[in-house]
Structure 1
Amino acid sequence: MADRGPTECWLTDMDGVLVHEGVAVPGAGEFLRLLRETERRFLVLTNNSIYTPRDLHARLQRSGLDVPADNIYTSALATAQFLDTQRPNGTAFVIGEAGLTTALHEIGYVLTDTDPDYVVLGETRTYSFSSITQAIRLIDNGARFIATNPDPIGPSNEGSLPATGSVAALITKATRVEPYFVGKPNPLMMRSALNTVQGHSETTAMIGDRMDTDVIAGIEAGLETILVLTGVTAKAEVERFPYRPSRVIASIADLIDEVRP
């Protein structure tokens, strides 16, 4: 990889990097504290569209991690920003929870089931067959199909749950219309995050635990990519991919010295 300047901005995934099954990863708290104390630009990224940044701030705080809501960026926010650039003050039929509906309300969107511009699919723990049926009919009638992220499953205390990608596949099967996925691995989310934090790709690093979302999105956005081994991708799996991260490290604790003043 070409020589890069010192890292001035940090983007980091949440699950698998900062927390694992609701427990803070060792070193994550110190890393975040140093970012705040040294006034580094940073964002915590997540494909989870269920929660608002304020909700996630509270959830991380319960894990012992202090991340201001302004430093949390979700696929719901990225989706809202994308729609605001495509069709300002539009209308949408939404399947999702507060993280998504709040983000759309804040950009001036009207949520409706009457001839909407878009069907917007996000994550929810209570997917409704009637809502999915309504989405299919609206898409058949010409609504454009957007989804917050392609993740097929999500975690729960009882095991895996179907997530946005799985439900999107169901709708696509019924309508023959593919959605536009905004969240990772789409580099659009990375570029939106960079714009939000006023960062530059040449001096920004992306920390993630998945080769197929975090690393590929970071590469395509021109960022330094750092894979940590505290989440989904194991070290032995890295060589199976046709692309490589800039670095592979054990955990976020290995980056603490890089953000010390």
Structure 2
Amino acid sequence: MKKILDNSQAKAALANVRGYVFDIDGTLALADRRLSGYQALPGAGDLLALLRQRELPFVAFTNGSTKTPLQLSQELGRIGIEVDEQHTLTPVSVAVDHFRRRRFRRLLVLGGEGVWRPLIEAGFEVVRSPERADDVDAVLIGWHPEFVLADLDAACRAVWAGAGLFVVSTAPYVASRDGRTLGISGALAAAVRSITGKRAIVLGKPSAYALACASNRLGIPPDQMAIVGDDPSLENAMALRGGALSVGVHTGLSDAADFDRLPADSRPHLSLPGVAQLLELVS
């Protein structure tokens, strides 16, 4: 599908959408530089309310791992963005699905509560770095601003012993009210790779694993979704990979010019000032 330019084409395409995947940071809301204290972006709450009214399923999917899905669902609910825990996704949600398929049992985690708690609740045996665990099935790197050298040592020794290496995201930054907030997990994964030579498998957006997780939660195939986000390399790339309708918004990391500069076959189908304009199109 080529980029859609006029309202009639946009409305026709959106009429065929059976479910939505929304990015959070820069799309539905903006947090402070500590990735907390969310403020809703215009139209976000009303758009989700309209989709609920029409019984169109949606998920809110962040690449962040500072919070558990429950914590994130509760924080968004306080600002009028109502998404239940089951439909609030982080890369750790993807990790749970993938690690179960791989029949992993024991994991080494570099990260805070948003990384380790969902894994424990899902039944995995979790070792938290800097404690060493050379017998784990996998190492998962997430949001870990308190990183110290001992964390790197534990991760490398587990990888040398044969553990798989996974990372929630390699995005260098995320959108916040203060502009770009640095990512952590990609830098830590790069450090482990520089020592062990092992490249981390990305579980968050735009990976095929992330797309499959969203599809499973929605209960619809990717080619019947719309994926809405502010990052050309994340939500837009994931949408185009899966044959979904890609909706780029200009309220986060990217503006209209950033989307327009993409090669023609890599542009979103819709490029909108924000989800308020998407609300107008689907109303």
TM superposition score normalised by structure 1:
0.91
Post-superposition offset of 1:158: 11
Are the equivalent residues in 2 in contact too, given 1:187–1:218 (CA < 8 A)? no
Kindly report which structure 2 residues correspond to 1:82-101, keeping only aligned pairs within 5 A, or say none: 82-86=98-102, 88-101=103-116
Report which stretch shifted further, 159-168 or 228-237: 159-168
2:73 aligned with 1:73: no
Q: Sort the Cα spacing of 1:168 and 1:221 in 2 relative to 1 into closer, same or farther, 3 A.
A: same
Alignment equivalent of 2:217, drawn from 188, 196, 200 = 196
2:173 aligned with 1:153: yes
Report which stretch shifted further, 205-214 or 123-132: 123-132
Q: Could you tell me which runs of 5 or more consecutive residues in structure 1 were left unpaired when the two chains were aligned.
A: none
Report which stretch shifted further, 244-253 or 186-195: 186-195
2:191 aligned with 1:175: no
Instruction: Look up the match of 1:144.
Output: 164
Q: Sort the Cα spacing of 1:162 and 1:196 in 2 relative to 1 into closer, same or farther, 3 A.
A: closer
Post-superposition offset of 1:116: 0.6
**Secondary structure of residue in 1 paired with 2:107:** strand
**What per-residue deviation string (whole Å, max 9, x for no partner) do you get for residues 115-140 of structure 1?**
11111111123223212211112112
Post-superposition offset of 1:259: 4.1
Instruction: Look up the match of 1:23.
Output: 39
**d(CA) in 1 for partners of 2:268, 2:251:** 15
**d(CA) in 2 for partners of 1:154, 1:125:** 14
Alignment equivalent of 2:251, drawn from 209, 212, 230 = 230
Instruction: Look up the match of 1:249.
Output: 272
**d(CA) in 2 for partners of 1:158, 1:236:** 17
Instruction: Look up the match of 1:51.
Output: 67
Post-superposition offset of 1:218: 1.0
**d(CA) in 2 for partners of 1:259, 1:240:** 27
**d(CA) in 2 for partners of 1:198, 1:158:** 34
**Secondary structure of residue in 2 paired with 1:111:** strand
**What per-residue deviation string (whole Å, max 9, x for no partner) do you get for residues 101-156 of structure 1?**
22222333212324111111111232232122111121122211111111223578
**Secondary structure of residue in 1 paired with 2:248:** strand
Post-superposition offset of 1:63: 2.7
2:62 aligned with 1:42: no
**d(CA) in 1 for partners of 2:143, 2:163:** 19
Instruction: Look up the match of 2:144.
Output: 124
C-alpha RMSD of matched pairs (Å): 2.1
Q: Sort the Cα spacing of 1:116 and 1:221 in 2 relative to 1 into closer, same or farther, 3 A.
A: same
**d(CA) in 2 for partners of 1:207, 1:80:** 23
Instruction: Look up the match of 2:120.
Output: 105
Post-superposition offset of 1:188: 2.2
Instruction: Look up the match of 1:64.
Output: 80
**Secondary structure of residue in 2 paired with 1:149:** coil
Letter matched to residue 159 of structure 2 = I
Instruction: Look up the match of 1:239.
Output: 260
Instruction: Look up the match of 1:212.
Output: 233
**d(CA) in 2 for partners of 1:158, 1:32:** 25
2:12 aligned with 1:7: no
Q: Could you tell me which runs of 5 or more consecutive residues in structure 2 were left unpaired when the two chains were aligned.
A: 3-11, 32-37, 128-132
Post-superposition offset of 1:162: 4.5
Q: Provide runs of 4+ in structure 1 moved above 4 Å.
A: 2-5, 154-159
Letter matched to residue 244 of structure 1 = R
Post-superposition offset of 1:80: 1.5
**Secondary structure of residue in 2 paired with 1:226:** strand
Post-superposition offset of 1:190: 1.4
